[in-house]
Amino acid sequence: MELSFVVAQILAVIGWFFLIYSYYKDDIRELLRMQIIACSFETASYLVLGAYAGVFACLLDLIKAVLYYKTDKKTAVFFGTLPFYIVLAVFSIQSEGPIALLPAIGGVIDGFVLTRSKTTATIGSIVASTLWVIYDFVVFAYAAAAADIVLITSNFFVLFLGYSRIQHIDRLHVVKCQYLTRHLSINILNLDKKNYPAEYLWSVDRQRDLFKLNPDSIMLIRNKKHIIGYLNYLTITEEAYKHYKRALQFYRDVSPESITVMKRRRKNYLLIESICVDKSYDSEKMANFISRHFRTFLRNRHKQGYNVHGIISVAISNFEQEFLESAQFAHIKDYKGGEALYELDDIAVAKYIKQN
């Protein structure tokens, strides 16, 4: 057994460990950072084996991951790297034969599906990883093949569990929180801890104090008796609305003076403070589900004479961003901490309420 073969397998295994470790990261930036490191070791493994089609395909995937990490513009990155995959395909045929086309095809598929829905991305990942497994066995990259097989198996579980979650969403129900007990506040805080960094968390007492100032402002999402998510909004003054919108830094708290109550025949302004769900329910369909119920709430309020003239929210988590975009909020600006400000102005609110 040649030393280069052993070294290549060791490098692939190290990359595999970084890949597995990345999936324990809740923050998408940390996840991408770990996957970039994993891709670096995988590239080194193919280089030692002399599988140059795999080397260049991994390098392209590495560049693509870095661009996603830096820009989060998936469509632009896909089309920007596509010509390089075409060059890789031509190089592969000339250097290693038709079998070396598989990494290039896998890279194109993987880049394309990342611009689509989560379900499509999962299916595409399974197809791309299958192509890599075939190539890995041909070039004796057995450790890399094992990692790809695990990835395929994992994605199958994600796919089927994802479909299961989508089916279960139809069994969920949304209720308004009439009384925010300490026990309920603890449940909400436990959900927050799984979705937000510590610096964004409100204590149980703080949450309850704000609820007293603006009661009936939490929509709970229940699966039978279990709370699996919630949406928390606050009615704020017009002055506070304008202040939060033009502020250069993201607010970490809401002052009691900025909170008011909804009034009939007046201009009302809302601040969506949190949209949070259990990670097992994190999906595009879940975002649409909450948006639909929030729209129904606004529509009913409008019929009762409570006119909402503007809604703002700051996306901290990926799910919040998905919800706000599914509800057609306009992206206003990004803060230095990575948070993003979104708004529905008076015209957009009117259109949102009228949607089916």
33 and 154: one domain? yes
Q: Which domain holds residue 257?
A: 173-354
Same domain, 182 and 105: no
pLDDT at 25: 59
Tokens of residue 95, six digits: 């250097």
**Boundary of a domain, candidates 141, 168, 195:** 168
Same domain, 203 and 122: no
pLDDT at 238: 93
Q: How far is CA 15 from CA 38, 104, 220, 294, 347, in A?
A: 4, 20, 41, 43, 50
Q: Structurally, how many domains does the chain consist of?
A: 2
Q: Which two tokens stand for residue 67?
A: 């661009």
Q: What was the pLDDT predicted at 164?
A: 44
Structure tokens at 147: 């990692």
CATH number at residue 190: 3.40.630.30
Judge whether 136 and 118 are in contact, CB under 8 Å. no
What distance in Å separates the CA atoms of residue 60 and residue 82, rounded to the nearest whole number?
10
Within this chain, do residues 233 and 119 fall inside the same structural domain, yes or no? no
Provide CB contacts within 8 A for 323, sequence distance 6+. Answer: 275, 287, 290, 291
Q: What is the CA 264 to chain-centroid distance, rounded?
A: 37
- Looking at the structure, tell me whether residues 31 and 150 fall in a common domain: yes
Give pLDDT tens digits along the chain (356 positions): 578 788 888 888 888 788 777 766 555 566 667 778 888 888 888 888 888 777 888 888 778 777 766 665 667 777 887 888 888 778 777 777 777 778 888 888 877 776 666 667 677 778 888 887 888 788 787 777 777 787 777 667 666 655 444 445 556 888 888 888 888 899 999 999 988 888 888 889 988 888 888 887 899 998 877 888 999 999 999 999 999 898 888 877 788 889 998 998 889 999 999 999 988 788 778 888 899 889 999 999 889 999 999 999 999 988 899 899 888 899 999 988 889 999 999 888 988 888 86
Same domain, 278 and 192: yes
Question: What pairing do the DSSP bridges indicate for beta strands 267-277 and 226-236?
Answer: antiparallel
Domain end marker among 168, 188, 211 = 168
The rounded distance, in Å, linking the Cα atoms of 283 and 293 is 16
Residue 315, pLDDT score: 92
Strand order across the 173-176 sheet: 173-176, 218-223, 226-236, 267-277, 307-315, 340-344, 330-334
Domain boundary residue, one of 151, 168, 185: 168
| Residue 262 and residue 213 in one domain | yes
At residue 52, the pLDDT reads: 79
- Kindly state the DSSP code that residue 305 receives in the 8-state scheme: T
User: What is residue 169's predicted lDDT score, i.e. its pLDDT?
Assistant: 58
The reported pLDDT for the residue numbered 219 is 92
Q: Is 312 exposed, middle or buried (0-12, 13-18, 19+ CB in 10 A)?
A: buried
CA–CA gap between residue 90 and residue 102 (Å, rounded): 12
User: What angle separates helix 52-71 from helix 74-96, to the nearest 10 degrees?
Assistant: 170
247 in the same domain as 152 = no
**Which pLDDT value is given to residue 97?**
76
Contact criterion met (CB below 8 Å) for 197 and 27:
yes
Q: Are residues 180 and 326 in the same domain?
A: yes
Under 8 Å between Cβ of 31 and 40: no
Same domain, 299 and 342: yes
- pLDDT at residue 1, rounded to an integer: 55
> What was the pLDDT predicted at 119?
66
Q: Are 268 and 235 in contact (CB under 8 A)?
A: yes
Q: Are 117 and 212 in the same domain?
A: no
- For residues 109 and 215, membership in a common domain is answered with no
The whole-number pLDDT of residue 72 equals 56
